[in-house]
Structure 1
Amino acid sequence: MFELRRLRLLHELALRGTIAEVAAALSYSPSTVSQQLALLERDAGVALLEPDGRRVRLTPRGRMLAEHAARALELDEAARASIADHVGWEPVRLAAMPTAAETIVPAALTLLAERAPGLRVELAELPPEESLFELAARRFDLVIAEQYPGHTRELRDGVVHELLGEDPLRIVLPPDAAPTPLASLRDHAWVMEPAGTAVRQWAVQQCRAAGFEPDVRFEAADLTAHVRLIAAGHAVGMLPDLIWGDEPSGMTLAELPGEPVREVFTAVRTASRADESVELVRTALADAFALHRRIAP
């Protein structure tokens, strides 16, 4: 009989690629991970790992067992969810992108304090690229993420996306500036998120469609830095309405061509959809997003 704990280590290795990354993610030492995988090999009676330079990789049978491990973990999660109402709520591990962590999540926690006062929610603020991967790796139970027009997120087996709503995207200029169309901002310095992110790709494409290559002078993952650079008159940018919370922006906002919106969604593993605690949090997030007052320019 295979130990589920060891099967999870194999599943993690298939996802993350190295024993060091598995150890860091699960707070084990690399030697412990190696020992447990060696014991799993002994239980399986076949080689699951093989040398790959200074690292190891899964053998074909190792990959096959990793696929079975993923299904075993899903069944374990579904079984725990089905009996959760008899043993009390389990903590819900939530990962949210920064704008949601700062606006939607606090409002949802207020709703949950009334609806389910005994429910514990643990929050980590992470970009969607990281949080969606970690959801599949079972570090989190629920994720709030976004996708931009023409840049849909990867659909992973065993993960379900559900739309919370649409968040308008606008040009943001300093407070004393006049609303300016995108095509007229070719000679301005821009602040954007780091290269490689979906939002950066999308923003650059908007500028190219308007006939120019943006002068991206400032890069920052933290959108608060965008706001401060713009407010000080050093740059212009494109930001979602959600960043302003329920307060007026104080900035000059202008419409982008076609008035685009980003989709804000939740993601959960299929196996945890029946978990009452996860569904309570997801519903509170949806209600909080619906109640959120978007500030018009």
Structure 2
Amino acid sequence: MLDLRRLVLLRELSIRGTLAAVAQAMSYSPSAVSQQLSLLEKETGLELLRKSGRGVRLTPQAEVLVAAAGELLDTIERAEAEVAASLTEVRGRVRVAVFQSAALALMPAALRLTAQRYPQVRVEMVQREPETALHETWAREFDMVVAEQYPAHAAAWLPGLDRHELTTDAIRLALPPLDHPIAGGAGDGRPVEALIDARDLPWVMEPRGAASRHFAEQTCRAAGFEPDVRYETADLQAQIRLVETGNAVALMPDLVWTDRDTTCRLVELAGGPRRTVFTAQRLAGLASPAVRAFRSVLEEVAVAT
């Protein structure tokens, strides 16, 4: 009989690409991972890995086993969820990945309500960029992800993930207060009243590759100019401070202003673009009472925000 733990290691290699990455994710040494995969080859009597440059690649037979391992893990996850659902009390652990503005605006209230209503549910939260978190949830690193999607920049659809929309929020141009010199960005001292008026101002954006960065750059280009991105940071709180102190302007989704006072002046964008915030979890775990309870609480908090 094939060893499930070794099949899982093979699946992890198909997902992560290198023995070193598998070792780090599974808390093994690279040599231990290699040894276990060699034992799996002996069990099957098949060549599963072939050298490719400095790494390895999976054979077609290994891919068959990877698919089978995924099905087995789904079966185990469904069984665990159904056993938990048979209990009279909602309990268990929920591992959730969340991006920064949702962590600040939604998670505090959601965690508080969950603790009040479901004291036997333990929620563990890690901040991750949405693109990474979606993949890691699919790979079973997390039970659920809170992710975002910007207009014309769809988040990846991964097989076996169930998505529910939480909320949408408007995206607006954030400017320093009117009494700050940078606020007269139209070139003749007049206040900025539209995106094009900010064409000569310094900008702060997230690093390249982020969905928000792609959206911001494309929005500026559609308005007729290339933004002067002088500052890059994934920390939206740092972006807000740069705007408030007159060092930059930025495009900000409204969720960042939840429970927060600001001196920023907000200008509407043409077309009223909105960002979508959603949750995703594996279909195999939909019956989990703990995950279902926390997801329901998040939806309640999002409606009230």
Q: Pick from 276, 281, 300 the counterpart of residue 268 of structure 1.
A: 281
Q: CA deviation at 1:55?
A: 1.1
Question: Is 1:138 paired with 2:102?
Answer: no
Q: Pick from 92, 104, 107 the counterpart of residue 105 of structure 1.
A: 107
Aligned to 1:58: 58
Distance in 2 of aligned mates of 1:236 and 1:267? 32
Matched-pair contact (CA < 8 Å) for 2:165–2:279: yes
Q: Give the total of aligned pairs.
A: 292
Question: Is 1:240 paired with 2:278?
Answer: no
Aligned to 1:295: none
Q: For residues 181-212 of structure 1, give each alpha carbon's deviation from its aligned partner in whole angstroms, at most 9, with x where no partner exists.
A: 10111101110111111111111010011000
Q: CA deviation at 1:179?
A: 5.0
Aligned to 1:14: 14
Larger radius of gyration: 2
Consecutive aligned runs of 4 or more in structure 1 exceeding 6 Å deviation: none
Structure 2 portions without partners, runs of 5+: 184-190
Matched-pair contact (CA < 8 Å) for 2:92–2:120: no
Aligned to 2:186: none
Aligned to 2:293: 280
Matched-pair contact (CA < 8 Å) for 2:131–2:156: no
Matched-pair contact (CA < 8 Å) for 1:179–1:252: no
Structure 1 portions without partners, runs of 5+: 293-297
One-letter amino acid of the structure 2 residue matched with residue 63 of structure 1: E
Identity among equivalent positions (%) equals: 48
Matched-pair contact (CA < 8 Å) for 1:4–1:73: no
Q: For residues 205-240 of structure 1, give each alpha carbon's deviation from its aligned partner in whole angstroms, at most 9, with x where no partner exists.
A: 100110001111111111111111111111100011
The 3-state SS of whatever aligns with 1:91 is strand
Q: For residues 58-90 of structure 1, give each alpha carbon's deviation from its aligned partner in whole angstroms, at most 9, with x where no partner exists.
A: 011111211111111111111111101356622
One-letter amino acid of the structure 2 residue matched with residue 190 of structure 1: W
Matches within 5 A, 1:169-180: 169-176=171-178, 177=183, 178=191, 180=193
Matched-pair contact (CA < 8 Å) for 2:244–2:262: no
Distance in 2 of aligned mates of 1:126 and 1:208? 28
Q: CA deviation at 1:249?
A: 2.8
Aligned to 1:259: 272
Matched-pair contact (CA < 8 Å) for 1:175–1:231: yes
Question: Is 1:230 paired with 2:243?
Answer: yes
Matches within 5 A, 1:144-163: 144-163=146-165
